[in-house]
A = this chain, B = another copy of it.
């Protein structure tokens, strides 16, 4: 089980005794998902947090017109979950799908609660994690409300240069909030300008 990335990730925010680290790792479950495979489907109750060690996932919803909207990408080193469903333990609306062959480590909600009791430091870690996620969602909300599609694309490129190379265009379109057709036209415009 490849826990190095995750452990070094955590160590940035809290310092763990060796036995705490060991205990934490013992609560994890590893899993592989093949490209186009689902980790969570619409209507499922999300009862794990997922950390990606290899590959890339996407979390998205499908609206009433059948259009997809991507809430987040999760390449190596990122966490993903349908937070609404995870917190409320109600059926969620998100779908989590593998964009590439992907390997993950999962912490179930029950194990997380036990972990909080036994090693309260982890409350801190996850608080910080959620705070960071909140900030990025706030910024994105402002951006979707105040920027043109072209500006949103430029921001995306600057923020995630590595992701851009790796993802099919339609996913980037679904992330910044335009149709694939418009995204294509926009891109040729941007290239022509340069």
Contact A132 B69 (CB under 8 A): no
How far, in whole Å, are A144 and B147 apart by their CA atoms in the complex?
13
Chain B residue nearest to A124 in the complex (CB): B123
Is A16 close to B, CB under 8 A? no
Contact B71 A141 (CB under 8 A): yes
Q: How far is the CB of A111 from chain B (nearest CB, A)?
A: 16
Interface SS majority for chain A: helix
Is A137 close to B, CB under 8 A? yes
Contact A134 B83 (CB under 8 A): yes
Is A146 close to B, CB under 8 A? yes
- Provide the A60-97 mask, 1 if CB < 8 A to any CB of B, else 0: 01011001010100000000000110010000010000
Contact A61 B146 (CB under 8 A): yes
How far, in whole Å, are A137 and B138 apart by their CA atoms in the complex?
7
- Provide the A176-191 mask, 1 if CB < 8 A to any CB of B, else 0: 0100000000000000
In chain A between 116 and 143, which residues have their CB closer than 8 angstroms to a CB of chain B? 116, 120, 123-124, 126-127, 130-135, 137-142
Sample of 11 more A-B contacts, CB < 8 Å, known A64-B146, A123-B123, A141-B141: A67-B146, A69-B142, A71-B138, A83-B134, A84-B138, A84-B139, A127-B130, A130-B131, A134-B137, A137-B138, A140-B141
Which A residues have a C-beta under 8 Å from some C-beta of B?
A: 61, 63-64, 67, 69, 71, 83-84, 87, 93, 116, 120, 123-124, 126-127, 130-135, 137-142, 144-147, 177
